[in-house]
Amino acid sequence: MFTDMVGYSALAQRDDQLALELLEEHRRLLREIFPRFHGTEIKTIGDGFLVEFHSALEAAQCAIEIQRVLSKRNHDVPLERRVELKIGIHIGDVVHRSGDVYGDGVNVASRIEPLAGAGGICVSMDVERQIRNTLEARCEKLGPTELKNISIPMDLFRIILPWEPRPAVAEKTEPLSKSSPRKFVPMVIALALLLTIGLGWWWSDRGRRTSTLPVPRTVSSAAAEVSSKSIAVLPFDNLSRDPDNAYFVEGIQDEILTRLSKIADLKVISRTSTQKYKSAPDNLRDVARQLGVANILEGSVQKSNGQVRVNVQLINALTDAHLWADTYDRHLTDIFAVESEIAKTIAETLQAKLTGSEKALIAAQPTSDTTAYELYHKGKSLWEKRSGDNLPKAIAFYEQAIAHDPKYALAYAGLANSYVLLPFYFSVPQRDAMAKARDAALKALQLDPKLAEGHTALGKILNFDDLDLAGAARELQRAIKLQPNNATAHQWYGNGPLDSLGRFEEAIAETERAVELDPLSPIINTDHAYPFYYARRYDESLAQVRKAMDLDPSFFYARQILGMVLQAKGDLPGAIAEFEKARKLSGDPLHLALLAVAKTKMGDTGIAQQVLAELDKVNPDRQGLAYDRALVYLAIGNKEEALRWLEQSYADHDGANLSWINVEPMLDPLRGEPRFEALVQKVIAPKSEPRP
């Protein structure tokens, strides 16, 4: 906190004795107030104070109390005897040395001090974020202000004091110009109620400020179930004037999250679940409850002329305790080091244990090319959506990223994961898509053997293209070891080789872990229902798929498994209704086959031939057509044709369907048939070597 006595120099020139009298009275009053809010006086600066506090909230409360006391004191005294202060609060980097403080936080605050107005309190955006949900008084945002020797305009807030009249809406002020000193005086007048930015900070042995507070314990029996080492990284605010910087901002959030996800001692929520929230939401406790975490990281990013400012703060949402905050002003090319430093500081603050390999992983720099970095994150954002033509667009961005940095392993892994899923959404030849996926995954792992995303992609390829369940399990286990909070790796491992091999309890545990890490993902919640279905635990599968549908009623994949579960439970009309909805939502030929199966069981004798004829018209490159035909033939009792098409499905390397031949309830009528059992063994038997 900085305080400054208004008009003291002019008063000293007019009446030196009165000036000294008021100075001493003002010092006595303030020194009585500081300790009540755990404020530590660092020094006096002429007629001002520099004070340190344990938290931004205590600093703000202290400032309000100071202005309250002075307002009351000034009420009945002559104008010349009034004591008016400008007060500002800021959080920033400081260094303690020889009883004094230095650093960017002090410098920034000193630049804003001349703008302070009499009788009020001004705080930086970093402080406002920390006090908005706990301070009784409200804050009013002021326009971005350019400061001398500070490269990026700062957002300031004015605390509206409870006893002052509600201010009229002010016009938006023009930022201060570094090159136009004539604008300075009218700007001071226009910002008469603006106050100086001061300090509230945390410090460490390294001279850089980090919180030494222990992580607070949860405060209720419900909260006690939440790990104190759990965290969600909310979307960062884009404070840049250029909206095209949105992907750059997403990238910083995602890179911090990705680094944290490599720490086994933490629980880190996936970005697909945090994206629905804005940064600095109104009710952190509700957000934390919905995501199943104790801690939340908020932040903002401002990018301008090769410079970037990143503001972050870590909050225990269950207790509303502010654990740590910092501001990083760096060159654009230093952003990767900032992301690593933030992740490391968060881990230290949450008291997470880091192995030597984890320290190396979170410090790794994926690329030195900031353009490739932005292109990669554009691709990843589209890959996460998956709907429409987002996958082809994601592929294009990944390829552009690789063109900028041919050694960008993450971009190759993103390319592999996109090609893996492409046949599910488009009529592209599976053999072509999988060949491209394999090449990209192997290239990613050649560049970085410890890249979890590369092992995840290769695991899916071995599962879906090679029908190598053991190989897929090996790669996905490796991915989970390298990145314990990789929700997709847990998802693909559980609803993949584990349930295909009948290891249902393990499969359920893995998909449940995926849901914990990505609780708002429709696809992950849906995949959690499948192991229950394959284990013939239909009621549990039904309960889970309904949770998935609550997240997205239009998600065709959830409708598909819901129909399959209802059919297994004997509710054929309900199953037919769900398959019809899934068909309208996706156009996947599988839903035609599932309709034929359910309607045949209902006694419709003509539907099977009708559907088979429709399948003949489908683009032959569409993934899974042989398997679809097998289901229809089995529904009408033609086991010979069903087996022939299942064998064709194996020849087509259709692991996306055939992987579950050992456990799929709809194939139960074939169990015991020698040809079928031989095919099952081909699928589930360990492969000595992956298919070239």
Which residue carries 């072509």 as its tokens?
432
What is the three-class DSSP state of 70?
helix
Q: Which of 274-283, 323-332, 532-541, 617-626 has the highest mean pLDDT?
A: 532-541
- If pLDDT is split at 50, 70 and 90, which confidence band does 93 have? low
Q: Rounded to a whole number, what is the distance in angstroms from the first to the last CA of the chain?
A: 66
Query: Letter for the amino acid at 212?
Result: T
pLDDT in the model for residue 577? 97
Kindly tell me if the per-residue pLDDT of 591 is higher than 80.
yes
Q: How far is CA 179 from the centre of its chain?
A: 39
pLDDT-based confidence at residue 11 (cuts at 50, 70, 90):
confident
- CA–CA gap between residue 631 and residue 651 (Å, rounded): 17
**pLDDT above 80: residue 220:** no
Query: Coil, strand or helix: which one is 487?
Result: helix
Provide CB contacts within 8 A for 406, sequence distance 6+: none
Q: Give the rounded percent of residues in the chain with a pLDDT score beyond 90.
A: 56
Q: What value does the mean pLDDT take over residues 556-584?
A: 96
The Cα–Cα gap between 611 and 526 comes to: 26
Q: Which strands sit side by side in the sheet containing 2-5, from one edge to the other? A: 40-45, 48-52, 2-5, 85-89, 121-124, 156-159, 139-141
pLDDT attached to residue 279: 65
Q: What pLDDT shows up at residue 688?
A: 52
At 656, the amino acid letter reads: A
Handedness of CA 108, 113, 116, 122 (dihedral sign): positive
Provide the pLDDT for residue 429.
85
Provide the pLDDT for residue 481: 96
Beta partners for residue 43, in sequence order: 50
Of the two residues 141 and 505, the one the predictor is more confident about is: 505
Whole-number pLDDT of residue 213: 32
Greater confidence, 213 or 95? 95
Q: What is the mean pLDDT of residues 415-424?
A: 91
Q: How confident is the model at residue 150 (pLDDT cuts 50, 70, 90)?
A: low
pLDDT digits (tens, 9 = 90+) for 632-653: 999 999 999 999 999 999 999 9
Q: Under 8 Å CB-to-CB from 326, ≥6 apart: which residues?
A: 91, 92, 93, 208, 209, 210, 311, 312, 313, 342, 345
368: left (phi over 0), alpha (psi -120 to 50) or beta: alpha
**Average pLDDT, integer, range 136-147:** 74
Using only C-alpha atoms, what is the Rg of the chain? 31
Asked if residue 666 has pLDDT above 90, the reply is: yes
Handedness of CA 126, 127, 130, 136 (dihedral sign): negative
Q: Say if residues 307 and 330 touch (Cβ distance below 8 Å).
A: yes
Assign 175 a pLDDT band (cuts: 50, 70, 90): very low
**Beta strands in 179-268, from DSSP E residues, in sequence order:** 230-233, 237-238, 267-268
pLDDT (0 to 100) of residue 294: 95
More confident residue, 158 or 477: 477
Residue indicated by tokens 């919905």: 290
Average pLDDT across the chain, whole number: 85
Burial of 120 (C-beta count, 10 Å sphere; 0-12/13-18/19+): buried
Label residue 574 by pLDDT band (50, 70, 90).
very high
**Residue 117, both tokens:** 């107005």
Whole-number pLDDT of residue 493: 97
Q: Is there a contact between 1 and 200 (Cβ–Cβ < 8 Å)?
A: yes
DSSP 109-134: HHHHGGGPPTT-EEEEHHHHHHHTTT
Cβ contact 324:332 at 8 Å: no
